[in-house]
Amino acid sequence: METFYRALRSSPVRRGPDRWVAGICGGIAAKFGWDVTWVRIATLLIFLFPGIGIGTYLVLWLLLPKYDGSIALENLLRKF
């Protein structure tokens, strides 16, 4: 599992500190130099497709490292 987490930490996209919920939109906006408001609007539009939008957001929340390097999935699995 350490190899998996190391690969995730090497991702250039991070969950950013500019966050409303999990920092996904802030991280994507920071990586590509986009305005975070437009990324949030696009995310809300994707949420109109049940399963795809929310499911993708949850997976990204679990797998993308935060700006400090912590990964939500790793933290959740350590508790069990």
Q: Output the pLDDT for position 66.
A: 85
Residues with pLDDT less than 50, the chain? none
71: Cβ–Cβ under 8 A, 6 or more apart, which residues?
5, 8, 9, 62, 63, 64, 65
Q: Output the pLDDT for position 38.
A: 95
Q: Output the pLDDT for position 7.
A: 87
What's the length of the chain? 80
Q: Could you identify the residue written with the tokens 């690969």?
A: 7
Q: Output the pLDDT for position 64.
A: 87
Q: Output the pLDDT for position 35.
A: 92
Reported pTM? 0.69
